[in-house]
């Protein structure tokens, strides 16, 4: 790669690649490669075949890669905890991407499961997850959601407010059952990430301030049927390095030590947020280094206070599925836009956009892209990949160097889309959501069916049938 941006409009972090056809290791799935004719293969399958069978846009998820990341995370956290004589439970953070098939993959590999809504809980149970190995998050769990969680036998509920404690108190009293709970606390450590991704500073919706936590714990311990098992803290997402985790651990262990006077706290859950590479300049910390650094920090803080190290829990999501995903698009139009006498940008419009990847519009996330259906010897051009939606902020890849001859009909692949793309998808501009296809052993299969226009109209009660006739009144209150 070049040592610095070679284009006046390029962001400072973006460097021009020596070859704009290269697949950067660590950004793409491990098995991604090009044929001799330049066609991209994912999981051993040419992307041209995937387009022919499933169309575009298309979410592609490498099952074998997801499973490999799950095993690696389990080994890393369990091994780090074992060095200090304790156990680690590793939850897959389902909000990253959840389907019944993914539930089966991660649970078969030994992970527990973390859900954040009644819908995610339903998917987890439909996928065969053991309820006792499910943790339930959320800042505004409804009474109905909590009722269902307790009824299902969810292993732990992460309490987020005083109101939620009272909701749970009423449920367990009525059902005469015992429910394990953790208390989410804000350590005050602000991860070095986008403000919308940082979740441990006090001015936000999640959890309790450390100073307010003892009173909340005291109330939990008063309730017959609620078993307080420990603290939970999550400092943010897409975090590189261990410094923030170490500082947060020090503050939370101090609270943990204070609360021990009132009873045992067998678990300390330090959340997730472990970053992955989206671009060539991203340098994520290996999961083994993260696991060792966090476990060592907790052990040091416990030793300094003369208390035993609790069992640890972690919640990786993006780190499990992010790199395993690639989104395929077809290029529809290209448009060079001259901004001044010396600079222009090539706009590349694809057949998807912010409805299948909201992250760039939501918080300025950066992605990479490559032509997938061929290689090109054309000089690299600074490009912006945009979607088909009626929004100027409908950007898929804000800045990337692509071959200057990219043209309508080319397949374009955007890597590292396994996390939060399908989860955040929408029907903006009445665009149906794409299917999700899983790859394993050289085979491709649909694991989430794509939507059609008929699906969109089926929920519109005023839609006139194609053959004519009056709008349906089924489901309307006509009285």
- Predicted confidence (pLDDT) per residue in 149-207, tens digit: 999 999 999 999 999 999 999 999 999 999 999 999 988 776 554 443 344 456 678 88
| Tokens representing residue 370 in the block | 């490559």
Q: Where in the sequence numbering do the catalytic residues fall?
A: 390
As a whole number of angstroms, the distance between CA 207 and CA 205 comes to 7
Annotation-wise, does 303 bind a ligand?
no
Annotation-wise, does 420 bind a ligand?
yes
User: What pLDDT does 173 receive?
Assistant: 97
Phi and psi for 458 in degrees, rounded to 5? -65, -25
Annotation-wise, does 352 bind a ligand?
no
- Model confidence, pTM: 0.92
**Three-class SS of residue 205?**
coil
Task: Residue count of the chain, please give it.
Answer: 479
As a whole number of angstroms, the distance between CA 149 and CA 147 comes to 5
- Alpha helices by DSSP H, listed for 334-442, are 359-363
User: What pLDDT does 2 receive?
Assistant: 45
In 3-state terms the chain splits into helix, strand, coil percentages (rounded to 5) of 30, 25, 45
- Alpha helices by DSSP H, listed for 332-421, are 359-363
Q: What is the pLDDT along the chain (479 residues), one digit of tens a residue?
A: 444 445 778 898 998 999 999 999 999 999 999 999 999 999 999 999 999 999 999 999 999 999 999 999 999 999 999 999 999 999 999 999 999 999 999 999 999 999 999 999 999 999 999 999 999 999 999 999 999 999 999 999 999 999 999 999 999 999 999 999 999 998 877 655 444 334 445 667 888 999 999 999 999 999 999 999 999 998 777 787 778 888 888 889 999 999 999 999 999 999 988 999 999 999 999 999 999 999 999 999 999 999 999 999 999 999 999 999 999 999 999 999 988 767 889 999 999 999 999 999 999 999 999 999 999 999 999 999 999 999 999 999 999 999 999 999 999 999 999 999 999 999 999 999 999 999 999 999 999 999 999 999 999 999 887 655 555 444 444 33
Beta carbons within 8 Å of 280's beta carbon, 6+ residues apart: 1, 15, 17, 24, 27, 368
Annotation-wise, does 418 bind a ligand?
no
**Which of 243, 270, 260, 267 lies closest to 306 in space, CA to CA?**
260
As a whole number of angstroms, the distance between CA 212 and CA 202 comes to 11
**Which of 191, 312, 208 lies closest to 255 in space, CA to CA?**
208
Annotation-wise, does 289 bind a ligand?
no
Annotation-wise, does 63 bind a ligand?
no
Q: Does the fold of domain 84-322 match that of domain 32-62+325-417+421-452?
A: no
User: What pLDDT does 475 receive?
Assistant: 46
Provide the CATH number for the domain formed by 32-62+325-417+421-452 in this structure. 2.40.37.10
User: What pLDDT does 465 receive?
Assistant: 76
Contact of 272 with 314, CB cutoff 8 Å: yes
Annotation-wise, does 133 bind a ligand?
no
Q: Which helix (H) or strand (E) holds 114?
A: strand 112-115
As a whole number of angstroms, the distance between CA 455 and CA 448 comes to 14
- Alpha helices by DSSP H, listed for 97-212, are 100-108, 118-126, 143-152, 162-175
Its CATH architecture, for the domain 84-322, is: Alpha-Beta Barrel (3.20)
User: What pLDDT does 466 receive?
Assistant: 66
Domain ranges of the chain: 32-62+325-417+421-452, 84-322
User: What pLDDT does 343 receive?
Assistant: 82
Tell whether the torsion through CA atoms of 441, 444, 447 and 448 is positive or negative. positive
Annotation-wise, does 222 bind a ligand?
no
């Amino acid at each position: 790669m070049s040592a610095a941006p070679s284009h006046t409009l390029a962001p400072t972090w973006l460097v021009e690649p020596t070859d704009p056809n290269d697949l950067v290791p660590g950004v793409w799935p491990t098995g991604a490669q090009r044929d001799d004719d330049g066609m991209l293969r994912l999981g051993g399958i040419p992307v041209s075949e995937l387009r022919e069978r499933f169309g575009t846009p298309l979410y592609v998820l490498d099952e074998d890669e997801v499973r490999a990341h799950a095993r690696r995370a389990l080994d890393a956290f369990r091994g780090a905890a074992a060095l200090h004589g304790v156990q680690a439970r590793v939850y897959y953070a389902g909000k990253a991407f959840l389907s019944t098939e993914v539930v089966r993959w991660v649970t078969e590999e030994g992970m527990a499961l973390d859900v954040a809504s009644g819908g995610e809980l339903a998917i987890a149970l439909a996928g065969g997850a053991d309820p006792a190995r499910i943790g339930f998050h959320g800042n505004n769990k409804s009474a109905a959601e909590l009722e269902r969680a307790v009824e299902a036998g969810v292993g732990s509920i992460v309490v987020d407010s005083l109101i939620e404690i009272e909701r749970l108190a009423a449920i367990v009293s009525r059902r005469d059952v015992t429910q394990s709970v953790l208390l989410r606390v804000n350590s005050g450590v602000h991860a070095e990430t986008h403000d919308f991704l940082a979740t441990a500073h006090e001015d936000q919706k999640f959890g309790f301030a450390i100073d307010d936590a003892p009173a909340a714990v005291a109330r939990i311990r008063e309730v017959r049927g609620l078993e307080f098992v420990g603290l939970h803290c999550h400092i943010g997402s897409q975090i590189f390095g261990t410094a923030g985790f170490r500082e947060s651990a020090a503050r939370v262990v101090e609270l943990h030590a204070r609360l021990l006077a009132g009873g045992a706290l067998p678990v300390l859950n330090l959340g997730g947020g472990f970053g992955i590479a989206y671009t060539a300049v991203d340098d994520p910390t290996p999961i083994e280094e993260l696991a060792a650094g966090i476990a060592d920090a907790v052990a040091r803080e416990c030793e300094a206070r003369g208390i035993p190290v609790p069992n640890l829990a972690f919640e990786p999501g993006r780190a499990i599925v992010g790199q395993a995903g690639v989104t395929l698009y077809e290029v529809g139009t290209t448009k060079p836009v001259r901004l001044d006498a010396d600079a222009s940008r090539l706009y590349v419009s694809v057949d998807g956009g912010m409805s299948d990847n909201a992250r760039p519009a939501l918080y300025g996330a950066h992605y990479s892209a490559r032509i997938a259906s061929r290689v090109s010897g054309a000089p690299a051009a600074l490009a912006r990949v945009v979607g088909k939606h009626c929004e100027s902020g409908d950007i898929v890849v804000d800045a990337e160097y692509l071959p200057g001859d990219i043209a309508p009909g080319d397949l374009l692949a955007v890597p590292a889309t396994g996390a939060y793309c399908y989860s955040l998808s929408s029907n903006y501009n009445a665009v149906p959501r794409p299917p999700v296809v899983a790859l394993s052993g050289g085979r491709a299969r649909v694991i989430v069916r794509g939507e059609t226009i008929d699906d969109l109209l089926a929920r519109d009660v005023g839609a006139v049938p194609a053959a004519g006739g009056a709008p349906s009144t089924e489901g309307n209150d006509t009285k």
